[in-house]
């Protein structure tokens, strides 16, 4: 009889531990969702590399200016490339036109390919 009671206590403890793990994971996922929603940067995807060495100088006065990369969410959905000078190229068109200039670009955001979805969320492409 004592063995059965001890066995039942062990099963009850395992269920309790499992429930705690599920609760902590739910809280972590919820917090992560709130943090990433504020940045509008949603994730990573794979893509091809982009070379802008063929483009030379660009008339920067004709480009739409943005303060930072997070504000690029107002552009149309598609794939873009940000060079080391903060020039944004639209890569869905074969001519790769320069369409915008970002005033402040972090080092990790330079020379990166990004995508913008229909909701204005920005994701970095891994190449």
Q: Are residues 108 and 69 in the same domain?
A: yes
| Tally of structural domains, the chain | 2
SS3 80: strand
| Closest C-alpha to 87, from 75, 77, 99 | 99
The answer to whether the CB of 80 falls within 8 A of the CB of 114 is yes
Q: Residue 121 CA to chain centroid, in angstroms?
A: 8
| Closest C-alpha to 55, from 88, 15, 10, 22 | 88
The answer to whether the CB of 89 falls within 8 A of the CB of 50 is yes
More confident call, 84 vs 50:
84
pLDDT, one tens digit per residue, over 9-55 is 666 677 888 888 999 888 888 877 766 655 555 555 545 444 554 44
Q: Are residues 57 and 110 in the same domain?
A: yes
pLDDT, one tens digit per residue, over 48-72 is 444 554 444 455 557 889 888 888 8
Domain that holds residue 81: 42-126
């Amino acid at each position: 009889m004592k063995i059965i009671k001890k066995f039942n206590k062990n099963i009850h403890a395992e269920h309790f531990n499992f429930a705690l793990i599920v609760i902590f994971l739910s809280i972590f996922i919820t917090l992560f969702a709130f943090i990433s929603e504020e940045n509008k940067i949603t994730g990573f995807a794979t893509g091809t590399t982009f070379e802008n060495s063929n483009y030379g100088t660009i008339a920067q006065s004709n480009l739409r200016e943005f303060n930072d990369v997070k504000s690029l969410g107002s552009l149309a959905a598609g794939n873009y490339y940000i060079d080391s000078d903060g020039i944004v190229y639209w890569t869905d068109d074969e001519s790769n036109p320069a369409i915008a200039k970002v005033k402040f670009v972090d080092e990790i955001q330079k020379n990166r390919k990004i995508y913008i979805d229909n909701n204005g969320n920005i994701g970095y492409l891994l190449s």
